[in-house]
Amino acid sequence: MITVVGSLNMDLVVQTAHIPRVGETVLARDLRYVEGGKGANQTVAAARLGGEVSMIGAVGKDDMGDRLIEALKKDKVDVSGIKRSSEASGMALITVDAHGNNAITVISGANHDLSLQDLNRHEDKIANSSIVLAQLECPLDLVTEAMFLAKKHGCISVLNPAPAQPLPKDLLDLIDILTPNETELQILSGLPTDTLQECQTAGEKLMASGIKSLIVTLGAKGCYYMDSKESIFYPSYEVKMTDSTAAGDCFNGALVAALSRGDSLADAIDFAMKASAISVTRPGAQPSIPALEDMEGFDLWYEERRLDK
């Protein structure tokens, strides 16, 4: 069992030729409402890719909250840990350019109404899990408590530190696997991360803070794994990108799904990279996330879509 503690948002997505600069107005073709939020996206990815998943989070008592919960139910997620808050459901405003790059503004709403009491009320879900996954779109004290409960019950604790913010040492000490992208690694370490060597140096600094394993996702370049014994670079499965929204969430959900069924960390990373490669060829957040049957034909799928073909 996997428990995800995190956010649920309704994504308002617009497609533009380019992401506007400061003071610039651009025209968009349409507006799409897509279920999202880092916590929900990672929950869906873990569920579609073979995991048994429960989620702890909060949505408003509104139509968007209804939609967000129903979307999780379709993927057989245990939603009994999701609070119906008096706050409005969270939202994200997402602009996607012609190359699939995005810019995102998040309105937290009900996500910041999730309390320590709400979390502790569902401690049994964590106690019955082997992995607990969290992000930073919910209050930091809540994330720290989730990681504490994970360690209390012998779970693997995984934190995707997005959106990045300084993390206290008492939280870092509780994390088994930290999964920043290069921008988040730069913020967390205070060091540049423009090259692979710089990522390694920044990662080494972060590892000294108490992290046991570090996976730095590098977008189209791949990812970088580091622990106390080794550092390994995994090149990406390069494909033509349509929309990178939720690619990192897909990676995290796929990673914990693979770990939950007993895969080695190396195999879980490769599985997560394959899932992410599929996701960036599809538009939207949760709609882009592949299912387990998509992964079974990955080699043939990739051979037809690889960028160097």
Catalytic residue positions? 249
β-bridge partners, 157: 132
Q: Which of 183, 266, 246 is nearest to 13 (CA)?
A: 246
Q: Are 179 and 212 in contact (CB under 8 A)?
A: no
* Nearby residues of 235 by Cβ (< 8 Å), 6 or more positions away: 221, 222
Contact criterion met (CB below 8 Å) for 94 and 12: yes
What is the full DSSP assignment across 271-283? Answer: HHHHHHHHHTTSS
Q: How far apart are CA 184 and CA 188, in angstroms?
A: 6
Instruction: Give the number of other Cβ atoms within 10 Å of residue 82's Cβ.
Output: 26
Distance CA 169, CA 196 (A): 25
**Are the C-beta atoms of 50 and 261 separated by less than 8 Å?**
yes
What are phi and psi for residue 253, nearest 5 degrees? -65, -40
Encoded tokens for 286: 């949760």
Q: Name the residue type at position 124.
A: D
Residue type, 22: V
CB of 211 within 8 A of CB of 250?
Answer: no
Interatomic CA distance for residues 244 and 239, integer angstroms: 11
